[in-house]
Amino acid sequence: MKVLHICNAPLTSDHPDYGRVSVHPGRWALNLAIAQRTHCGIAAELLVQVPGSHSEHLTEIETVPVRYVAAPDKFRSATLFQLDASRLARRAREMAPDIVHAHGTEDAYSLAAQRTGLPNVITAQGLYFLINRKVKLRFVSRARAVQFTEWLAFKRARHVIAKSDYVARELKARFPHLTLHAIPNTFDERLLRVQEAKRPNSLVFVGTISPWKGMHTIREALIRVRDEIPDVTLDIAGDSTNSVLPYEAEQKRLLKETHGDRVTFHGQLGLIELAQLVASSRALVAPSLEDMFGNQLVEALLVGTQCIVAEGTALAENVRRFGNGVIIPQDDPEGLAKAIVKALTEPTPVVKVQQARDAVAIDFGPAKVAKLHSKAYEQVLGVR
């Protein structure tokens, strides 16, 4: 079986625009493709659009063939991603897969998969009908456009992979016609070999600095924490180097004003470098207002770092499932501050850290997740 993943993936160093154009660094689709090729004999390939690039590029990442597609970087959401969808669908048909797997509805990927006319499935992630209810939007905005194209994609879809029970519940309520497959993300097995000594009073945040990720809550909580632990530090990985979004620019400015050199911005890090940073931290803070799965939490648990998350998200679901974490109310700086102080002064017992790590490794292991996807693909192909 040949499966084409239309998805995000890191830009390789051999790409002509490497270092000039930035792309989403997420590896979850790549991790899945590697697992499928390794454990299921599936010929998995990636199709990745690179807005702002002028060069098509074929390469390979860890045995997985990758085709990078050049695209303009302006007016994409304003045109409801229609040109992107047509471009990607054309490339996808040229690659002649048996099934097209689109990762996410927050861009053109799902629309493109459907436009191919080939059997397809969508992985639900970054759901804007959930995100947009938690943030203030301009009347005309990319987020509103994405929510509309997301609605179009799900109305036309039949098979959707839900990465958490939370996502499955919300999708079933909004789109009852969907056939849902409950399958989590997998992980890179190199994480299991990462071991680092914990730095005293160290916190880490992993992800984009977006309104729904709760950075304002972290900033306000740290003011309270410093009354008890003056030398608390925060490392932030995944922020943008140019801070083009107003929320991110404002939060960075305020963090520097209130916490100075106790906050370090790392930008986008490679897998192992990021894992080492998380592993050396006492706690991962992720008080998201919305989160559909939480790769950062799963990876933190795999490297033995306690997690502090907010209620009402898939992050909380996974803390309840695996342990080594604390759940606080949403948008609650005082509750977050108390949880941080406890995490820094009363670490999780080693046995519980290991239990959580082992449980994640079993439940989200590459072989298991790859085989679950294979069964879902067989069902998609069987109904056509």
> What's residue 241's pLDDT?
78
Taking alpha carbons only, the member of 58, 5, 63, 64 closest to residue 29 is: 5
Looking at the predicted structure, is the pLDDT value of residue 384 above 60? no
Domain ranges for the chain: 2-186+365-379, 189-363
> What's residue 246's pLDDT?
87
Taking alpha carbons only, the member of 22, 42, 19, 20 closest to residue 32 is: 42
Contact status, residue 93 vs residue 137, Cβ threshold 8 Å: no
Encoding tokens for residue 362? 């079993």
Q: What is the pTM of this model?
A: 0.94
Contact status, residue 203 vs residue 233, Cβ threshold 8 Å: yes
Q: What angle do CA 264, 268, 271 make, to 5 degrees?
A: 110
The DSSP result for 41-58, as a single string, is --EEEEEEEEETB---EE
Task: Please check whether the two domains, 2-186+365-379 and 189-363, share a CATH topology.
Answer: yes
> What's residue 139's pLDDT?
74
Domain 189-363 is in which class? Answer: alpha beta
Looking at the predicted structure, is the pLDDT value of residue 307 above 90? yes
To the nearest 10°, report the CA torsion of 253, 269, 294, 187: 180
Task: Look at residue 338 and give its three-state secondary structure.
Answer: helix
How many beta carbons lie within 10 A of that of residue 329, not counting itself?
12
Encoding tokens for residue 290? 């919305």
Give the pLDDT confidence of 154-171 residue by residue, as tens digits: 999 999 999 999 999 999
Which residues neighbour 49 within 8 Å (Cβ) at sequence distance 6 or greater? 68, 69, 71, 84, 87, 88, 107, 108, 109
- Mean pLDDT score, 4-20: 93
First to last CA, the chain: 15
Q: Which CATH superfamily is domain 2-186+365-379 in?
A: Glycogen Phosphorylase B; (3.40.50.2000)
